[in-house]
């Protein structure tokens, strides 16, 4: 029998990650700050519901967190009825949220005072990668802890890399999301330009995807844009959060991030327009608004 795992945070990403752990044969004890249909479905399918992060930690020795931002991670791990109150010495916390590297380091040190080990292991691949179990997982922590949990990681991702000590995983994820945001902005700008010039954006996409402008971002995001599918895989407000953490971390270490700052302002414009809960591919709408044109499928009839 494989070890029992605790999982805190049942949303777009957490739900399929839990399902993949269950498919791999792990028992799951799960908690969410409010009850939702996803939680109820997981319990029906065999997961055990806990009613506080403390209870999750009491019933498991590996606790995964997947919540929105630094304050939520701090709350479920360190505040009243948090993991720190229930975890046994030697337990491992794996925070797979995307949060501030500085906060990660502070939380890891606080947990260590109680004998609780921690790894930060944010992911890339979005909801599709979470469902397919093909996430890229970037881990900060000790080699021994990483080796102990490698099978757990592999149940959720196809690429798992230990990149350094606590906080290094979060730095890597911020770098990843900076590249993704800038890439989406660049492809939006270019394809709206092509549309405004009267060239079919789908043909432009097909022409450039195999060349040096091609990328996994282009291949995964263009279909959503051209089909006007802005249902969230990764919400604008969450990408704003990540870029905020990146800019603050850049200031902390003395690294200048001019392109990241520009894309942050584009996303802030989307938020002002009420699009903060849409997918981050709605960056294209910013360029469409500026150019007074909509990028969509050409009528072939």
Q: Which residues are catalytic?
A: 173
DSSP string of the chain? Answer: -PPEEEEE--STTHHHHHHHHHHTT-EEEEE-SS--HHHHHHHHTTPEE-SSHHHHHHH-SEEEE--SSHHHHHHHHHSTTSHHHHPPTT-EEEE-S---HHHHHHHHHHHHHTT-EEEE--EESHHHHHHHT-EEEEEES-HHHHHHTHHHHHTTEEEEEEEESTTHHHHHHHHHHHHHHHHHHHHHHHHHHHHHTT--HHHHHHHHTTSTT--HHHHHHHHHHHTT----SSBHHHHHHHHHHHHHHHHHHT---HHHHHHHHHHHHHHHTT-TTSBGGGHHHHHHHHHT---------
């Amino acid at each position: 029998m494989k070890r029992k795992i605790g999982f805190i945070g049942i949303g777009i990403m957490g739900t399929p990650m839990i399902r993949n752990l269950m498919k791999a044969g792990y028992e799951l004890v799960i908690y969410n700050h409010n009850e939702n249909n996803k939680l109820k479905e997981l319990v029906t399918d065999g997961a055990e519901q806990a009613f506080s992060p403390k209870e999750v930690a009491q019933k498991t020795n590996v606790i995964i967190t997947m919540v929105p931002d630094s304050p939520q991670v701090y709350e479920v791990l360190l505040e009243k009825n948090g993991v720190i109150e229930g975890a046994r010495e030697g337990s491992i916390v794996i925070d797979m949220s995307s949060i501030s590297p500085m906060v990660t380091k502070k939380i890891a040190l606080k947990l260590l005072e109680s004998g609780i080990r921690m790894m930060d292991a944010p992911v890339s691949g979005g909801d599709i990668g979470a469902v397919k179990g093909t996430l890229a997982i970037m881990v900060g922590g000790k080699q021994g802890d990483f080796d102990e949990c490698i099978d757990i990681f592999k149940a959720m991702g196809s690429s798992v890399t230990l990149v350094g000590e606590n906080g290094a995983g979060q730095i890597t994820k911020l770098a990843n999301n900076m590249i993704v945001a800038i890439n989406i902005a660049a492809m939006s700008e270019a394809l709206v330009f092509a549309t405004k010039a009267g060239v079919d954006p789908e043909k432009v996409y097909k022409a450039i995807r195999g060349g040096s402008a091609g990328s996994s971002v282009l291949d995964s995001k263009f279909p959503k844009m051209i089909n006007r599918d802005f249902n969230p895989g990764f919400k604008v407000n969450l990408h704003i959060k990540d870029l905020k953490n990146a800019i603050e971390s850049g200031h902390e270490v003395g690294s200048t991030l001019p392109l990241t700052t520009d894309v942050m302002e584009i996303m802030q414009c989307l938020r002002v327009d009420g699009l903060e809960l849409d997918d981050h591919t709605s960056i294209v709408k910013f360029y469409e608004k500026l150019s007074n044109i909509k990028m969509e499928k050409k009528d072939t009839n």
